[in-house]
Amino acid sequence: MFDIENDAQRLEIIEKLRKSGVKIPCSDGIIIEKTIPIGKGTVILPGTIIMGESKIGENCVIGPNSYVCDTHIGDTVTFKASFTDKSTIDDEASIGPFSQLRPNSHIGKRVKIGDFVEVKNSTIDEKTSVAHLTYIGDSDVGSHCNFGCGTVTSNYDGKNKFRTTIGDNVFIGCNTNLIAPVTVESDSYIAAGSTITDTVPKDSLAIARSRQTIKEGWAKRNREK
């Protein structure tokens, strides 16, 4: 799995990185394969594993308790308590805690990927915020978008995978289901709780949820049965 044969070699790699300007305040649980370039000023925190064809830029914070495999990370990236495999993270992005980037994900400059967010086979352009509890799979997402909590791109029908396309400056309300294949055009809004099956045109508001019904006195009558 690793190109490190023993703990002495592990510590030797860490010491070499320290001498090159990488900040490793505590080596506990850190495993870094010897061929991986890491830029000056980057901080590696305990419990972090970096392996494969990974490359990390300058002035990043990686960890604690993170896994980086075959991933290129730009400069000034924060990557906290998260997993990434075969992906790319551009400058100044913020990942985690508790995020997962699955293969073929490209996270743009200054994008925020927050807690309990999973991204797979998708591109997310700069300054888009996906703050929490969201799944983005097989999607192309524009810049300056906001994903509300609980948004899901429903990409799989049980047999085939389909893509979701989202333009720039899109606001997606909480608990939205995007049923792929579907397109959300730029500068549009989606109301919370919507299930979107058709194209959302530019500059529009999409509302796709049932109306609330109030039955006065129902609870009291039910208790008295």
Of 90, 95, 97, 98, the residue nearest 112 (C-alpha): 95
Bridge partners (DSSP) listed for residue 123 = 106, 140
Residue 141's CB: how many other CB atoms inside 10 A? 25
d(CA 157, CA 215): 36
41: Cβ contacts below 8 Å, ≥ 6 apart: 21, 22, 23, 58, 59
Residue 171: CA count within 13 A, CB half-sphere: 10
27: closest CA among 11, 42, 3? 11
* HSE (side-chain half, CA atoms, 13 Å) at 4: 21
Verify whether residue 132 is a known catalytic residue: yes
Q: How far apart are CA 113 and CA 170, in angstroms?
A: 16
Of the candidates 72, 106, 132, 144, the residue annotated as catalytic is 132
Active site residues: 132
